[in-house]
Each structure stands twice: as structure tokens, then as C-alpha cells.
Amino acid sequence: MSQIAEETRSQILSLVNDFVRRDVMPVVQEMEENDTYPEGLVDQMAEFGLFGITIPEQFGGMGLDHITFAMVFEELSKGWMSLTGPIGTHHVMASIIFNSGTSRQKTRWLPKMASGEIRGGLGLTEASGGSDIQSIQTKAIKDGDHYLITGSKMFITNGDRGHAFAVLAKTDTEAIPPYKGMSCFIINKDTPGFSVGRKLNKLGYRGVGTCELIFENAIVPSENLIGEVEGEGFPQVMSALESGRINVAARAVGVAQAAFESAIRYSQTRVTFGKPISSHQAIQLKLADMATRIQAARLLTYEAAKDKELGKRVDLQSGMAKLYASEMCAYVAMESMRIHGGYGYIKDLPIERYYRDAPLMIIGEGTNEILSLLIARRLLDEYRL
């Protein structure tokens, strides 16, 4: 990396670190408990340029590399993981447009997405589909110069606050295999026939809305079909999800790091049997194990980000990073709670929040069970006899 790029990375990470310490930490407990959308904080993130982290400079973005992208998500998650929600799937949508969209689509959408004027999301999951994307039921029927889209999407991050969504639908319901009949559309919030359903009440990941999207013959212009070619939606989305899994892995590293730092500080001030609990070998073993697992997950995440930056196929690397980091995060959050004892279980400290937030990374961007199968299949392809 060039000296200029190193300086830019250092500056943006310092900016995010100061933002978390100065503006996020004093309000996170109250906002999280009340499930309040952090509108002012998200607006600040837009001012910092975080909605355009990886969008190229030619479209008004920062054009930063994927390792810096992962580091930003890690820093935000150390303060409040929910803050990554408004920019997470936003960047997946931007990636789909930049990599697969027409010149007109890039010019129309990316500058406003980079500035945060348009805040995007991703419509994949359905109530009956989950990680089985090929079983989606949302349909898009061509009707003159537009499509009529009917169906619904579930568990959509930022569904209530997003302005536009990249939505996967079937344009050919007879295609075999089914993924060859899928297309991806950009759909504005104000599209006739498009509405947002109920906001879901979640265990963790509070503050950011998770909603149902409903399409009832939604009228979508043909020019909003990504690439303006039918049947390419599945690979367009799968490629973009590689960066999505990198950002989820980075979130897990950030939450785990925060849980670890709370535990190691507490262990040095909590006294039992006449000495700090950090002097007890049982606690020392926990701390060593936690720190080692966090660093291993971080390196896996950065390696996937580096290969993504080089333009390599990284479904294997990003899958491994997301799988390991998310499981690690749940483990570290629990270990931190055990070190804190009763104080870790009450809401006066953020430990119980880390514990509630951790499962999202296990479930989100493809469940770990599905990812394990995908990893195994890629390994069998790579080591085929």
C-alpha cells in the first residue's frame, strides 16, 4: 500500500474512533434499550463519507480498499454494532450496481449513494426462503417498458429508513436450475405498489430497523433492471455478498474486541480472596484464549478483504472468515460475561448487549450451517481427485 493510502486509512480510522468515543458511547445504552434509531449518528456517518467507503472516487465515494472497509466496521462495532446496519447492505447494493450495472445506472445511483442522500438496502430473504435463495417466490413480469413485481421480503435491514433496495425476483419461473431465472432490480421506496410492513422486535441489533418489504404489482421501470439483462441477478448478488460476509466478520471481531477489553479491564480491578482476579490462573487462561481467537478471526477477515481487493474469487475465504469470526464472537461474549460474573448479566454494563448482538453474525449473511456446506463444496472442488 502506498504512503498516501496508509495515511488516508489512518485518518479515517482515527475519525471513526473519535466519533465512537465522543458521540456514540455516551448515548448507546439509552438508544439501544429504547430501540431508538440513531438518526443523528447516521447523519454524521454520512458527513464523514462512510456511505461511500468503497464507492470509487469517480462517483463521489472515498474509493478505499476492502481492508480499510473491514477496519471501519470493526471500529464502529466496538462502540455499537447497530451502527454498521445502515451502511452494511448499502455497500452490498452499491457493489452490485458498480460491478453489474449499466453506465447510466452507475451515474444515476452511485453519487447519491456515496453522499448518503440515497441510503440503500438489500431484498433477498423471504419468509419461506431464508438461506435457500433459489426458492424465492417474488416474481417480476415484464409489461411494456416496466415490470410488475409481486411478493415480499423478510428481515430487511434498514427497511424503514432506506430509500432504495436491490431486490432479487424471478423473471423466469420455469428456468432450470431456478437461479438462471432470477434478476435483480433497483426499487425506490416511493414506487407504486411497494410498502414497508411491520418492524420486527429483535433480541439484539437494536436501534436499526429490520422490516418486511411488500410488493403488490409494484411498477418498476425496465431501466431499473441491473445491467438491463434478465437472468443475471443470482451471480450479481452472490458476488456482492462476498463483501457482505467480510463486513459481518469484521463486525464480529469488533464486538468481540470490545467484550475482551471490558473483561481484561474488569479482571484487574475486581478483587477476590485478597487479589485481583486477573492474578488467578483460571482467568488468565480465559483472557489468553479470547485474545488469540480474536486475532485469528481478524487475520482471516483481513486476508479475505485483501483477496477481494485483488479481484480474486473469495467466496471460500469470506465464508471461512464469517463462519469463524461469528462463532468466536459468541464464545468471547459469553467468556466476558463469565469473567464479569453478576455484573456482566445486568444492563449497567454493555456485556449483556455484546452477548445479545453476537447471534446476528451467526445468522446474518447466510447461516453458519449453510456457509459450512458451501465451504465444504468449494474445498471438494479445489481438492477434486
Grid cell locating 113 = 449513494
Residue 3 pLDDT more than 80? no
Tell me, yes or no, if 365 is annotated catalytic.
Answer: yes
Residue 350 pLDDT more than 90? yes
The pLDDT of residue 69: 96
* pLDDT tens by residue, 42-67: 999 999 999 999 999 999 999 999 99
**CATH 1.10.3720.10 given to domain 3-115:** no
Grid cell locating 305 = 478483504
322's CB contacts (< 8 A; 6+ apart) are 245, 246, 248, 249, 252, 361, 365, 366, 368, 371
Mean pLDDT of the chain: 96
At the fourth CATH level, the homologous superfamily of domain 235-382 is: Butyryl-CoA Dehydrogenase, subunit A, domain 3 (1.20.140.10)
The pLDDT of residue 132: 78
* pLDDT tens by residue, 214-242: 999 999 999 999 999 999 999 999 999 99
The pLDDT of residue 295: 98
**CATH 3.40.50.1950 given to domain 120-231:** no
The pLDDT of residue 2: 54
The pLDDT of residue 1: 58
The pLDDT of residue 4: 52
* pLDDT tens by residue, 97-117: 999 999 999 999 999 999 999
Question: Out of 228, 365, 369, 382, which one is annotated catalytic?
Answer: 365
> Residue 5 — very low, low, confident or very high, per pLDDT cuts 50/70/90?
confident
Residue 379 pLDDT more than 80? yes
The arithmetic mean of pLDDT across residues 303-328, rounded, is 96
* pLDDT tens by residue, 117-172: 999 999 999 998 767 788 899 999 999 999 999 999 999 999 999 999 999 999 99
- Burial pattern 40-54, b for ≥16 Cβ within 10 A else e, equals ebbeebbebbbbbbb
* pLDDT tens by residue, 260-291: 999 999 999 999 999 999 999 999 999 999 99
Write out the H or E segment, with its range, that includes residue 13: helix 3-19
Q: Which of 47, 62, 141, 139 is nearest to 94 (CA)?
A: 62
- Domain positions in the chain: 3-115, 120-231, 235-382
